[in-house]
């Protein structure tokens, strides 16, 4: 049977159906890795390649993968794609919105962290994932259908986490693969410049409206519909909780710059004086800035004089 290919390869896989399997990534699918989804249908498809280079090499050599679909541009989801360059019969499809940079380390670095941190990002995070530049054959967009035989998956554009983030929906079996809408206790992550809280919220509303019976994400175990709806509500509530944390990090009686708010680490709750991780701080800075703008739009925060690229802000009087 198809499912029997995984155990001899030392791959941990959870069957969703007789043909759809969640392949557990290294480090239990946690960053800098992610889980992949393997569909062993008439056309054999792999969703994302960040599960680990050892696992990707085994699937490449033994599973007869004919198509690879990448959910978005983060390297913990795309790192192993380069291994399929020795398989000319395997088609790699990428989101249209990220096609200009998804396959290039240099372009991704500029896109995600800017020129000042690009070198550090490539030397640390990118190296941890094992990402290498790759080539792809096609681009997909919202509504693209991947017909595989008994199964079909429809691409649903779900931005917010990234501009090019997608979910894949199997409407006949009501299976939704949500990738980095991961329902983790930490909550949504939107720490790149292009990330957007409002769009993230709209994406959550979109998937809430689907009649999901099985939900699969990239960094957690699959869950069934009722549990999915409960976790989705908790996940969505993190936005408001962080609003309160960021507002609480503002002094009551004076304006403050973004850097001082980030020093207080309302989201990650780390001490940057003893944990001077520039990339972690960059991500938190991006998220805090998005919350300050959101709070300002609600009249809870006021902008004062501009200092650098971000205005001084204070609690509304």
Are 152 and 90 part of one and the same domain? Answer: yes
In a domain? residue 75: yes
Are 144 and 231 part of one and the same domain? Answer: yes
- Look up the pTM and report it: 0.95
Are 30 and 92 part of one and the same domain? Answer: yes
238, 258, 283 - which closes a domain: 238
In a domain? residue 181: yes
In a domain? residue 76: yes
In a domain? residue 256: yes
212, 238, 264 - which closes a domain: 238
In a domain? residue 245: no
Q: Which CATH number does the domain housing residue 124 bear?
A: 3.60.15.10
In a domain? residue 243: no
Are 224 and 258 part of one and the same domain? Answer: no
Are 34 and 174 part of one and the same domain? Answer: yes
In a domain? residue 100: yes
Are 294 and 182 part of one and the same domain? Answer: no
Are 255 and 233 part of one and the same domain? Answer: no
Other beta carbons within 10 angstroms of residue 197's beta carbon come to 18
Are 255 and 215 part of one and the same domain? Answer: no
Report how many domains make up the chain.
Answer: 2
192, 209, 238 - which closes a domain: 238
Are 34 and 143 part of one and the same domain? Answer: yes
Are 141 and 195 part of one and the same domain? Answer: yes
- The range of the structural domain enclosing residue 303 comes to 250-315
In a domain? residue 244: no
Written as tens digits, the pLDDT of the chain (317 aa) is: 466 789 888 899 999 999 999 999 999 999 999 999 999 999 999 999 999 999 999 999 999 999 999 999 999 999 999 999 988 889 999 999 999 999 999 999 999 999 999 999 999 999 999 999 999 999 999 999 999 999 999 999 999 999 999 999 999 999 999 999 999 999 999 999 999 999 999 999 999 999 999 999 999 999 998 899 999 999 999 999 999 999 999 998 899 999 999 999 999 999 999 988 999 999 999 999 999 999 999 999 998 766 556 788 888 87
Are 170 and 44 part of one and the same domain? Answer: yes
Are 272 and 153 part of one and the same domain? Answer: no
């Amino acid at each position: 049977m198809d499912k029997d290919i995984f155990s001899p390869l030392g791959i941990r896989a959870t069957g969703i159906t007789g043909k759809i399997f969640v392949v557990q990534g290294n480090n239990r699918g946690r960053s800098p890795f992610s889980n992949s989804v393997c569909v062993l249908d008439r056309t054999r498809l792999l969703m994302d390649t960040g599960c680990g280079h050892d696992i990707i090499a085994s699937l490449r050599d033994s599973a007869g993968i004919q198509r690879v679909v990448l959910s978005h541009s983060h390297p913990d989801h795309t790192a192993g794609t380069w291994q399929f360059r020795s398989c000319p019969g395997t088609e790699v499809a990428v989101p249209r919105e990220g096609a200009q940079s998804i396959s290039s380390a240099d372009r991704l670095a500029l896109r995600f962290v800017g020129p000042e941190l690009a070198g550090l990002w490539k030397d640390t995070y990118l190296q941890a994932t094992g990402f290498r530049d790759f080539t792809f054959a096609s681009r997909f967009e919202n509504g693209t259908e991947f017909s595989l035989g008994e199964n079909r998956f429809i691409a649903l554009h779900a931005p917010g986490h990234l501009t090019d983030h997608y979910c894949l929906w199997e409407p006949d079996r009501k299976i939704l693969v949500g990738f980095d809408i991961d329902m983790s206790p930490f909550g949504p992550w939107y720490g790149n410049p292009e990330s957007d809280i409002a769009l993230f919220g709209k994406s959550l509303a979109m998937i809430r409206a689907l009649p999901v019976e099985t939900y699969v994400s990239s960094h957690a175990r699959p869950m069934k519909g009722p549990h999915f709806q409960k976790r989705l509500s908790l996940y969505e509530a993190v936005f408001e909780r962080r609003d309160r944390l960021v507002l609480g990090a503002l002094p009551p009686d004076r304006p403050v710059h973004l850097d001082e708010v980030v020093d207080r680490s309302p989201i990650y709750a780390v001490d940057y004086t003893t944990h001077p991780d520039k990339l972690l701080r960059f991500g938190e800075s991006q998220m805090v800035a998005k919350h300050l703008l959101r709070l300002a739009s609600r009249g809870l925060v006021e902008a004062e004089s501009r200092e650098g690229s971000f205005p001084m802000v204070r609690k509304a009087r």
